[in-house]
Structure 1
Amino acid sequence: METKVQGVGEEKCIHCPLFNFTTVENERRVGTGQPSHFRRRNEELYGLLTLDLVSFELLDLPPVSAYDTYILAFGRSGTKQVYVQSNEDDVDKEIQTEDVEISDVWTQYPPCRGAYSDGMVSGAVKLAHSGCLAQFLLRASTLMLDILQEECEFPVISLRPPKLPFTTGHVIMKTTLQSFQGRPAKLLYTDTVAAHLLLSSHDSLLSVTSKQDLDCTSLMTSAMLCIWNLRAPSDPLCTLFCKSQVTSCCFSPGAVGLVLAGTKIGELLLWDIRQPGWQTGQSEKLQQPQPATFSTGGIALSTGIEHCSPVCAVKPLPTPAGPLPHGMTETYGLSFQVASLDESGLMNLWVVMDLPAGDLAGSTDDLGLVPGGKVKLLHSSSLHIHKCGVTQPKLSRFLDLVFLQSEPGHFFVTTDTGLVLRGALHGGKLYPRVYGQVTSIAPVTAWDLQPHPEPFLLVSTGDGDMRLHLYSDERPLLRWHEVSCGSTVIAISWSPSRPGLFFTLNEESHLHAWDLNKGTMKTIVLERNPDDWFVAMKAVGGVDVNPGLVLATRSGRLELHVLQEQFGNTVGTRSLLLQMVDMRSHGENIV
């Protein structure tokens, strides 16, 4: 509908909408009908639905008393006393409720060390801890004793007349104690860094022939390890005992603070001789067989890590940086690796770890650790010699193990077939892997690696033959047939002071000295002593030790023989050795 409005000079048209009330009423009726339908449906379903109510507490705390609340807020742990507050700010301050009565009393020995002193003790006087003082005095006295022994040079020792044609005299070590009688030294070991120390291993006596007290009987039936100072070989520095027979022993690398040994029953033993109490006493009756600091026999049942065969070798792994300097024995935190090999060819690698403190109550986790011990062995890995690239079907038993100082991780292993095997811990190409040829099966009875730059390996077998190998050639550089008139060589030792000089000892107590610088067959023979045979031999020498030879007799005596000056001179001694190496490098054969 349009409406016209007339104004002044113009005419306007206004549009007004028209409403259909019938349509609006119909729409309202339809809209009001739908909610009633939903409400009716809601009322029908509401009776069928029931909501469950669940209640729980967000924070559940046990009831506390007012006293516990006060102690928790203002007190200290484990205290049961009344506090008096001096002010509101200092709520943690304790005030003595009763006055302390102080009286001056005269004593015969006052703390201030003054005669007839009744005054107060000066603040400069401090109380000393008796344990720390005793530990300091022990270390200081041990250091002073070592300094006094180092000042005594080796020639000061009175030498007995020479028994060997190439020596200037000999010294008999003090083995007159009853524990040495009847038990000869089976193993002799020296360290390359601490050359003045010698480790000897003695078997146990299974039967006691005379009446002895209980302590002495326990010592006689135990295997024994002794540490000797070659500068003053009067008394053993330390004596260690174990129940099982020792088959291999060694020092910790570069620092004689730990002694490791492998036994016939397949366990490894470790002694920490840095701790007080390991020194030899004045009387043998006072010595008690102290247990090893750590034994793998205690962890074999819980971990399953053990040797099922006798341990034939225990050797420390050389480090790439070279041997540790002497004097690291007092440094705690020292860690190195040790390899143990049994006769079946299983090699276990162990990590020697220093603990920060020892527990006198013992450890429930380390069953092999003695109460109060601070050193233990951790098993690192295991490998079998047959899996190191060496496959020989005729191998039945392994005898010994030596690691190369020049190539860490490379090692030599001797067998009962006369072969020497070479392997590596981390794989790699090796040539050769086997030294020698199986012409007649005879076990390796003695062998040694030259400690000088020339890469020489000397091997002796049970058939009386002896051969010299280069590391780079599987064929022998030199070979000697029946060097001991058909007798088996039981010990070979290179001289640490003169390259090309080595000594051999056979089972009939014949001692030979070989100098390759003067000729390949130059020997000096010593006939055996029918009264007391030699059963073990080791060449010694170093910076602070004169060149010598340690010999062990059947009766249990140890003798140190000082070599003549010509056997310790190293000037012009490598010409013939280098000539033989050059001949082999050009393909020439050397008989």
Structure 2
Amino acid sequence: MDESANEGEGDEDREEITVQQRKEIEAIQRAIDEENERVGTAQSRQSTSREEEDEPKLSKGSEKNQSGSSQRGRFIDFAAAKKREVSKKVATKQKKRSTELLRLIDLDFSTPFSLLDLPPVSEYDMYIRKFGTANTKQAYVQCNEDNADRDTQTEDVEMCEKWMQHPAGYNGACGDPNLSQEARNKAASELNFDSQRLTSFLRSASQVMVVLLEEDQAERNSMRKLEPQKDTLSFSDGSLQLNTTLPFLYGRRVSLLHFSQVQRHTMMSVHMPTTKPSAVRLDSSTILCIWNIWEPSRPQKILVYESEVQCCCFSPGKATLVFAGTSVGSVALWDLREPASSHYRLKIGEEEWTFRLPTFSTDAVMPGLGHFSPVTSVEVVPSPVAEGLRPEVPLLASEEESSGLSFQLASLDESGALNFWVVVELPKGNEAGSPTDLGLRPGGKVKLLHSSFLLTAERASPRDAVKTGPLQTLLLKFHPTDSSHFFIGTNMGVVNHGTSHGLKAPPKFYRFREDEVRPVDVSSIHFSPFKPHLFLVGCEDGSIRLHAVSHEQPVAEWMNSTSGEPVVSLQWASTRPTVFCVLDAGSNLHIWDLLKNDSEPVMTERTAADRVTTMAVFGDSGQRNTYSGIALAHESGKIEMQYFSRNFTVSSPAEEDKLESLMTEPF
């Protein structure tokens, strides 16, 4: 049975192989038929086209040859047919395989899990992450806290004895007592002394220490000095009196008082020559004193000039330079940084005083570049560095020297000649003097170079020609925020407006409300420190005008505020926008507060015993201390500092609005 079964299975296998081979032969036959049919169709198309083209040329013999050649051109491509059959078979097997596997492959479900697991970061981990990005490393040290024993060992310090002596009288000013005489001589020969450098250092250091001590003492004693005195005026809470009883100031009248705009505590007083003989042989010279108002016992610097000084000003930064215009037409310059040893010293009584001569004077400049009439004004030309960008804290002397001097100075004389000078600082002074700069003092380092010249004397209209005498220019002021615009007060009651570049700047003149020109002198011009486009004008007939830069006629005018007395000086207050002070020739001091009363002064002080000759307003809105006041110079030469009460010192927001309203409301 087994053999029969095997034979049956073999017969079935052979039958399956025979059926499979038959199918393959049938498939090959079908492929051959399809290929023959395709080739025959293509050849028939080609022969038809050729027959149509060559039909006129062919004969019967040619038709027979064509038929024979077409039979020979047929062929069967068995390789391509076999390849297609095999490819089809492989594709069938792959499809069958994919169908069987697809029944076995199915999606399954798994337990839930989190795609993003971000635990919170502690403050320490965050610090470590940031710490690692700073190009640094962190080290960890294991400390044995339970082991409290510590061992410390120090070596003995080696010490030796030295001695020194100053000032050095000889080469051996220092040494070692334990050295031999030969070693001492060798050490002494190798020493190098620079006494000049040491002296310069001690001088600079002593000046710094003196300034610090003065400021500290002034701060501690300021309130004690401001105690009410018997000569305190009604608007003042206290007063100080400068010591003008010095021998060289005896019998001299004070003609000018001027404060530095940066160092608010620094003041300059100009003492005129005297006819009364004194023990000091300086009677024919003008003396200028530089004061620190917190130290009234003595002036800080004393300047001397051989003729009458009519105007003066400080340098725009730290008050290290002083400029003055004289009655002989010269402009003088003093450098306050020069050592006292290079100037004239005079011992008076038990005290020695230093009198400083000018560092530079324009007396020796070339002809045609200076002034030929008395100089009436000297003003520093404002600049963004000196005004708008100026730091609140003044620079030290060393800082200002390193930054260098870079500003212009303008001087005006009575004939209308306006000269511009450039302040130049030399790198080093020449003790032998300069052969070219004849106006430079030997050893001086600062001088003036002439820059340009303008003639500003021009009458307001042809009708002014009826006035006798020539037109005089008396005052010069620059616009606080635009240095190209200048304003000149004349003896015709008008203020001329011009530009340093020659451009037209309307209005050309600032006059009274009436069109007619009055032959009166403009005695004072002062710009508001809070509103730079507003300025006050005081005249010899006692009239006061408030002008805006953009208007020819005044926005406010007061004709009888001084009862006809000439205005000597007029200045805005330093801490309140609506307060200004007026001094007239009758020794009357008028204080205006436009916020309270815009038609007349709110207070008038009359001094009959010792007449007031000039005044200057001072003050500062500091962070620690806000103060303001007025310095008064009397006919006897006495100078007193009257400090305003609180109602004239502390400002309110409504004051600036009041000034703006004066420009819009009719007066």
Are 1:248 and 2:316 matched, yes or no? no
Aligned with residue 564 of structure 2, among 461, 466, 486: 486
Partners of 1:551 and 1:398 in 2: CA distance: 26
* 1:8-19 to 2 correspondences below 5 Å: none
Partners of 1:124 and 1:167 in 2: CA distance: 68
Hey, what does 1:581 align to over in structure 2?
663
- Give the AA of the match of 2:437: D
Helix, strand or coil at the partner of 1:362: coil
Per-residue deviation, residues 404-426 of structure 1 (Å, max 9, x unmatched):
12112111100001001111101
Aligned with residue 432 of structure 1, among 499, 504, 507: 507
Are 1:305 and 2:386 matched, yes or no? no
Q: CA deviation at 1:158?
A: 4.5
Helix, strand or coil at the partner of 2:175: coil
Aligned with residue 418 of structure 1, among 493, 505, 517: 493
Q: CA deviation at 1:580?
A: 1.8
Hey, what does 2:410 align to over in structure 1?
339
Q: CA deviation at 1:142?
A: 0.9
Hey, what does 2:87 align to over in structure 1?
none
Aligned residues: 470
Whether the 8 Å CA contact 1:517–1:574 is kept in 2: the answer is no
Aligned CA distance change for structure 1 residues 469 and 312 (closer, same or farther; 3 Å) = same
Are 1:364 and 2:435 matched, yes or no? yes
Partners of 1:482 and 1:284 in 2: CA distance: 49
Aligned CA distance change for structure 1 residues 112 and 541 (closer, same or farther; 3 Å) = same
Helix, strand or coil at the partner of 2:503: coil
Structure 2-normalised TM-score?
0.66
Are 1:547 and 2:628 matched, yes or no? yes
* 1:241-280 to 2 correspondences below 5 Å: 241-277=304-340
Aligned CA distance change for structure 1 residues 281 and 569 (closer, same or farther; 3 Å) = farther
Per-residue deviation, residues 444-493 of structure 1 (Å, max 9, x unmatched):
12231111125221112122211111111111111112211121111111
Hey, what does 2:644 align to over in structure 1?
563
Aligned CA distance change for structure 1 residues 454 and 404 (closer, same or farther; 3 Å) = closer
Whether the 8 Å CA contact 2:175–2:187 is kept in 1: the answer is no
Hey, what does 1:148 align to over in structure 2?
213
Q: CA deviation at 1:123?
A: 10
Aligned CA distance change for structure 1 residues 454 and 243 (closer, same or farther; 3 Å) = closer
* 1:125-274 to 2 correspondences below 5 Å: 127-151=192-216, 152-153=218-219, 154-161=222-229, 163-205=232-274, 207-209=275-277, 212=279, 216-217=280-281, 219-274=282-337
Aligned CA distance change for structure 1 residues 445 and 491 (closer, same or farther; 3 Å) = same
Per-residue deviation, residues 241-277 of structure 1 (Å, max 9, x unmatched):
1111001111111221111111000011111111111
Partners of 2:199 and 2:659 in 1: CA distance: 55
Whether the 8 Å CA contact 2:358–2:441 is kept in 1: the answer is yes
Hey, what does 1:314 align to over in structure 2?
378
Between 441-450 and 405-414, the greater mean CA deviation after superposition: 441-450
Partners of 2:358 and 2:257 in 1: CA distance: 20
Q: CA deviation at 1:284?
A: 3.9
Aligned CA distance change for structure 1 residues 553 and 232 (closer, same or farther; 3 Å) = same
Helix, strand or coil at the partner of 1:541: strand
- Give the AA of the match of 1:129: D
Hey, what does 1:100 align to over in structure 2?
none
Hey, what does 2:32 align to over in structure 1?
none
* Gapped regions of structure 1 (runs ≥ 5): 1-106, 584-588
Q: Which structure dedicates a bigger proportion of its chain to helix?
A: 2
Hey, what does 1:376 align to over in structure 2?
447
Partners of 1:462 and 1:317 in 2: CA distance: 27
Whether the 8 Å CA contact 2:262–2:319 is kept in 1: the answer is no
Helix, strand or coil at the partner of 1:357: coil
Between 567-576 and 219-228, the greater mean CA deviation after superposition: 567-576
Whether the 8 Å CA contact 1:514–1:521 is kept in 2: the answer is no
Whether the 8 Å CA contact 2:492–2:521 is kept in 1: the answer is yes
- Of the two, which has the highest radius of gyration? 2
* Gapped regions of structure 2 (runs ≥ 5): 1-168
Structure 1-normalised TM-score?
0.75
- Give the AA of the match of 1:321: V
Whether the 8 Å CA contact 1:160–1:171 is kept in 2: the answer is no
Q: CA deviation at 1:336?
A: 1.6
Q: Percent identity?
A: 34
Partners of 2:632 and 2:417 in 1: CA distance: 32
Hey, what does 1:353 align to over in structure 2?
424
Helix, strand or coil at the partner of 1:133: helix
Are 1:507 and 2:585 matched, yes or no? yes
Q: CA deviation at 1:321?
A: 3.4
Partners of 1:430 and 1:177 in 2: CA distance: 49
Aligned CA distance change for structure 1 residues 477 and 385 (closer, same or farther; 3 Å) = same
Aligned CA distance change for structure 1 residues 149 and 290 (closer, same or farther; 3 Å) = closer
Partners of 2:171 and 2:543 in 1: CA distance: 78
* 1:106-117 to 2 correspondences below 5 Å: 110-115=172-177, 117=179
Hey, what does 1:529 align to over in structure 2?
607
Q: CA deviation at 1:112?
A: 3.1
Hey, what does 1:292 align to over in structure 2?
358
Between 302-311 and 249-258, the greater mean CA deviation after superposition: 302-311
Aligned CA distance change for structure 1 residues 295 and 280 (closer, same or farther; 3 Å) = closer
CA-atom RMSD, angstroms? Answer: 2.6
- Give the AA of the match of 2:449: L
Choose between structure 1 and 2 for higher RCO, CA contacts under 8 A separated by at least 6 residues. Answer: 1
Q: CA deviation at 1:386?
A: 4.4
Partners of 1:108 and 1:134 in 2: CA distance: 17
Partners of 1:148 and 1:338 in 2: CA distance: 33
Per-residue deviation, residues 319-355 of structure 1 (Å, max 9, x unmatched):
1334354226443331321011100000111111111
